[in-house]
């Protein structure tokens, strides 16, 4: 490819924007607000098994419907150590509305130990509160929210028990058949049995640049994803075969994201895959999917090679009203920034957009939040190595690494933000999941991050006043209550900006379900809502600086 014109143009852009201050400043306040327990995930400085390396997701969600975001952190455990349950459980933190959090894990009924991977959250029974599904190496778990601050494990009643031990990975609720009931897609990473797996350095796929490391994923058996259909009566049925999901064959599945990528009004599915082509399941509108990742340009690199796909962000980085995709990848690679050309066809703009300057870190959780509310989505990426053994001999590949922030400078281009973005960017961790949301309701997006064997990070965004914003929360009526699968397009400053309501993205994580639009200098915006049930509605002249709740067919509620 010949990208020099872009290089020159980028330099000009960079010069312009280097002069402009970045008004958002990210500070890690996790310790001071009460997120003090470390997230255990395998040993700290040695990883014998790939299971100990992939880590877990996090969620911003409002479990008690008080209008303030609460926090869910998933946990792993350690082989051969008899750790107390309170040390290795998933944790739920309630937002105390004063900038601090209280650990309510025990009271909520969410204490559970094991190797948790990902989380997907939505009102799966349409009763007005958010339910939680967590994938595990072992048995995945569905928790029903009682609406009174507690959760009940309803996995068995819901028909989600499965035979044998699977390594559940990415998962997302979605309403693929538009019946108003949320269905469930679950990816599996690989078949993992510690009794059968070779130790570091002892088989093919167990060395990295000559240094013995944990084995896999190549060399270990891939696994097929599963699609469950919700019958509307609290029961799920495995429809993987009849829906066409299994025809794609096994992959090393990681994060899953459901949204209407081809703008036909039906939710599609994108699955990031590690060391294998990523999959794009196009909804055929008849209860089936066809896998078309290669044909739509999102399966492999621009040159046709597999990548180590980890996380997914969905947004509209060039503000053309179409949902684009960002996929994070392994070492020695850049992320993919797939620009939607229309009808679900994509082209990788990563280098043209300016993301090619950084390839040193393994990248995981990611999002396209507009952190400075200037109306252009930015890109945030959490990073961290999977091989603690490597840096001692090859310091160029550190185990702990910083966060990456690229500010959107308009027209689909980005520039790297460093010190200007605050001290939390340079802090090094081995991070995995990341979620984006406004936990302190101050009109800017904050970031929650899982750090392996460390306390989590909560990056509070202290944004200088100036640019305006708009919050939109949807409530489905004919559509599923959480409006998962909806696309909202805000038009301001003469250009559209599309966002999707999703039940999983980033890496194994869940973002604030309220969509946040930075509006720049605009004072109002018009929005178009494409509900997952097919209805299209418009709401005009929404004033900046407010959170709106919009109910399907009824308009603004508040």
Partner 1 sequence: MTIVFLALLQTAQEPSLLDKPQFVESKFEAAVDSGAHATAGSAGRMILAPLGVLQLPASRPSASGNREARAAHERALVLEAENNPIEAAKFFARAVQLDPSPAHLLDASVHLLSHGAAASAAKMLAEGLRLHPKDANLHLALGVAEFGLGQYERARETFVAAMPDPRSYEALALVIEAAPSLAGPLIQRLGGSPYHQALAILRGAGAGQPGAEGLLQKAIQQDPAFDKPHFELALLYVAQQRTMEAIGEFEATLRLNPDHEQAHFRLAQLQQRAGRKADAETHFAAYRRLHAKRLESEEAERKGRIVLMQTPQP
Footprint (CB under 8 A) of partner 1, residues 215-234: 215-219
- Binder to partner 1 among 5, 12, 195, 465 (CB under 8 A)? 5
Contact track, partner 1, 252-291, x by CB under 8 A: ----------------------xxx---------------
Q: Is residue 14 close enough to count as binding partner 1 by CB under 8 A? A: no
Contact 25, 462 (CB under 8 A): yes
Nearer of residues 282 and 467 to partner 1, judged by Cβ: 282
Q: Is residue 388 close enough to count as binding partner 1 by CB under 8 A? A: no
Contact 402, 307 (CB under 8 A): no
Q: Is residue 1 close enough to count as binding partner 1 by CB under 8 A? A: yes
- Binder to partner 1 among 329, 453, 457, 468 (CB under 8 A)? 329
Number of residues counted as binding partner 1 (CB under 8 A):
66
- Spell out the residues 6+ positions from residue 295 whose beta carbon is closer than 8 angstroms to its own: none
Footprint (CB under 8 A) of partner 1, residues 23-82: none
Task: Give every strand in the sheet of 468-475, ordered side by side.
Answer: 515-520, 468-475, 546-551, 555-556
Nearer of residues 204 and 465 to partner 1, judged by Cβ: 204
As measured in angstroms, the least distance from the Cβ of 358 to partner 1 is: 6
Q: Is residue 358 close enough to count as binding partner 1 by CB under 8 A? A: yes
- Binder to partner 1 among 203, 224, 539, 549 (CB under 8 A)? 203
Q: Is residue 308 close enough to count as binding partner 1 by CB under 8 A? A: yes
CA pair distance 502, 311, nearest whole angstrom? 14
Q: Which stretch binds partner 1 (CB under 8 A): 104-112, 323-331, 483-491, 522-530?
A: 323-331
As measured in angstroms, the least distance from the Cβ of 117 to partner 1 is: 17
- Spell out the residues 6+ positions from residue 479 whose beta carbon is closer than 8 angstroms to its own: 175, 178, 180, 485, 486, 531, 532, 533, 535, 552
Q: Which stretch binds partner 1 (CB under 8 A): 167-175, 211-219, 230-238, 444-452?
A: 211-219
Nearer of residues 298 and 488 to partner 1, judged by Cβ: 298
Write the DSSP symbol of residue 155: T
Contact 117, 508 (CB under 8 A): yes
As measured in angstroms, the least distance from the Cβ of 68 to partner 1 is: 35
Nearer of residues 17 and 60 to partner 1, judged by Cβ: 17
- Binder to partner 1 among 57, 225, 388, 398 (CB under 8 A)? 398
Q: Is residue 187 close enough to count as binding partner 1 by CB under 8 A? A: no
- Binder to partner 1 among 341, 477, 524, 551 (CB under 8 A)? 341
Nearer of residues 68 and 330 to partner 1, judged by Cβ: 330
Footprint (CB under 8 A) of partner 1, residues 416-475: 418, 426, 428
As measured in angstroms, the least distance from the Cβ of 166 to partner 1 is: 20
Write the DSSP symbol of residue 246: G
- Binder to partner 1 among 34, 258, 297, 518 (CB under 8 A)? 297
Q: Is residue 18 close enough to count as binding partner 1 by CB under 8 A? A: no
- Binder to partner 1 among 46, 209, 543, 557 (CB under 8 A)? 209
- Spell out the residues 6+ positions from residue 31 whose beta carbon is closer than 8 angstroms to its own: 455
Nearest 5 degrees, angle CA 343-CA 506-CA 18? 90
When computed from its CA atoms, the radius of gyration of the chain, rounded to whole angstroms, is 21
Nearest 5 degrees, angle CA 12-CA 297-CA 208? 85
H/E element, 306: none
Measured in residues, the chain has a length of: 558
- Binder to partner 1 among 100, 238, 240, 330 (CB under 8 A)? 330
Contact 506, 313 (CB under 8 A): yes
Q: Is residue 146 close enough to count as binding partner 1 by CB under 8 A? A: no
- Binder to partner 1 among 30, 213, 459, 503 (CB under 8 A)? 213
- Binder to partner 1 among 14, 87, 224, 294 (CB under 8 A)? 294
Buried-state track 272-298, b at ≥16 Cβ within 10 A, e below 16: bbbbbbbbbbbbeeeebbebbbeebbb
Nearer of residues 416 and 551 to partner 1, judged by Cβ: 416
CA pair distance 530, 556, nearest whole angstrom? 15
Q: Is residue 250 close enough to count as binding partner 1 by CB under 8 A? A: no
Contact 376, 409 (CB under 8 A): yes
Contact 232, 181 (CB under 8 A): yes
Nearer of residues 306 and 462 to partner 1, judged by Cβ: 306
Burial (CB < 10 A; 0-12, 13-18, 19+), residue 135, is buried
Nearer of residues 86 and 332 to partner 1, judged by Cβ: 332
Q: Is residue 12 close enough to count as binding partner 1 by CB under 8 A? A: no
Report the 10 Å Cβ neighbour count for 127.
Answer: 12
Contact track, partner 1, 93-112, x by CB under 8 A: --------------------
As measured in angstroms, the least distance from the Cβ of 115 to partner 1 is: 19
Q: Is residue 406 close enough to count as binding partner 1 by CB under 8 A? A: no
Burial (CB < 10 A; 0-12, 13-18, 19+), residue 330, is middle
As measured in angstroms, the least distance from the Cβ of 448 to partner 1 is: 23
Beta bridge partners of 103: 93
Q: Is residue 356 close enough to count as binding partner 1 by CB under 8 A? A: yes
Nearer of residues 427 and 522 to partner 1, judged by Cβ: 427
Beta bridge partners of 337: 326
Quick one: CA dihedral 422, 425, 427, 433, positive or negative?
A: positive
Q: How far is CA 430 from CA 56, 416, 421, 434, 450, in A?
A: 12, 20, 20, 12, 8
Q: Which residues bind partner 1 (CB under 8 A)?
A: 1-8, 203-211, 213, 215-219, 274-276, 294-297, 300-308, 329-334, 341, 345, 347, 350-351, 356-360, 386, 393-396, 398, 401-402, 418, 426, 428
């Amino acid at each position: 490819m010949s990208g020099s014109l872009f290089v020159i143009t980028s330099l000009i852009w960079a010069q312009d924007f280097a002069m402009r201050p970045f008004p958002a400043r990210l500070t890690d306040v996790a310790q001071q607000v009460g997120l003090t327990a470390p997230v255990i995930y395998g040993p700290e400085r040695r990883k014998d098994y790939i299971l100990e390396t992939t880590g877990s997701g996090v969620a911003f969600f409002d479990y008690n419907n008080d209008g303030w975001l609460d926090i869910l952190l998933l946990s792993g455990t350690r082989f051969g150590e008899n750790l107390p349950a309170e040390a290795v459980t998933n944790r739920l933190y309630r937002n105390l509305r004063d900038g601090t959090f209280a650990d309510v894990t025990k009271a909520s009924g969410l204490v559970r130990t094991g190797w948790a991977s990902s989380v997907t959250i939505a009102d799966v029974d349409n009763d007005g509160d958010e339910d939680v599904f967590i994938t595990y190496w072992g048995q995945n778990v569905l928790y029903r929210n009682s609406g009174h601050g507690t959760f009940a494990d309803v996995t068995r009643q819901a028909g989600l028990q499965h035979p044998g031990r699977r390594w559940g990975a990415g998962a997302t609720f979605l309403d693929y058949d538009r019946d108003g009931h949320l269905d469930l897609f679950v990816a599996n990473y690989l078949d993992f049995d510690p009794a059968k797996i070779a130790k570091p350095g002892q088989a093919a796929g167990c060395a990295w640049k000559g240094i013995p490391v944990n084995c896999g994923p190549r060399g270990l058996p891939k696994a097929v994803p599963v699609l469950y259909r919700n019958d509307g009566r609290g029961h799920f049925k495995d429809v993987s075969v009849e829906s066409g999901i299994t025809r794609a064959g096994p992959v090393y599945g990681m994060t899953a994201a459901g949204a209407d990528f081809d703008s036909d009004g039906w939710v599609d599915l994108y699955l990031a895959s590690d060391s294998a082509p990523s999959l794009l399941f196009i909804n055929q509108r008849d209860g089936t999917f066809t896998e078309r990742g290669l044909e739509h340009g999102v399966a492999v690199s621009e040159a046709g090679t597999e990548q180590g796909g980890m996380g997914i962000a969905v947004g509209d980085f060039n503000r053309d009203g179409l949902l684009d995709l960002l996929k994070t990848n392994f070492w020695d690679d850049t992320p993919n920034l797939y620009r939607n050309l229309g009808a679900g066809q994509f082209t990788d703009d990563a280098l043209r957009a300016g993301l090619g300057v950084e390839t040193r870190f393994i990248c995981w959780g990611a999002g396209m939040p507009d952190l400075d509310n200037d109306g252009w989505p930015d890109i945030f990426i959490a990073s961290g190595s999977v091989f603690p053994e490597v840096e001692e001999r090859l310091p160029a590949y550190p185990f702990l690494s910083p966060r990456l922030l690229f500010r959107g400078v308009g027209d689909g281009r980005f520039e790297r933000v460093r010190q200007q973005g605050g001290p939390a960017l340079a802090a090094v961790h081995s991070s995995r999941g990341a979620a984006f949301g406004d936990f302190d309701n101050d009109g800017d997006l904050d970031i929650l991050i899982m750090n392996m064997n460390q306390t989590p990070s909560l990056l509070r965004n202290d944004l200088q006043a100036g640019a305006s914003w708009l919050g939109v929360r949807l409530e489905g009526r004919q559509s599923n209550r959480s409006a998962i699968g909806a696309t909202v397009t805000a038009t301001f400053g003469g250009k559209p900006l599309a966002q999707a309501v999703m039940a999983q993205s980033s890496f194994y994580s869940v973002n604030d379900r309220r969509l946040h639009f930075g509006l720049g200098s605009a004072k109002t915006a018009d929005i178009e809502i494409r509900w997952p049930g097919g209805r299209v509605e418009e709401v005009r002249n929404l004033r900046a600086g407010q959170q709106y709740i919009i109910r399907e067919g009824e308009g603004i509620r508040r």
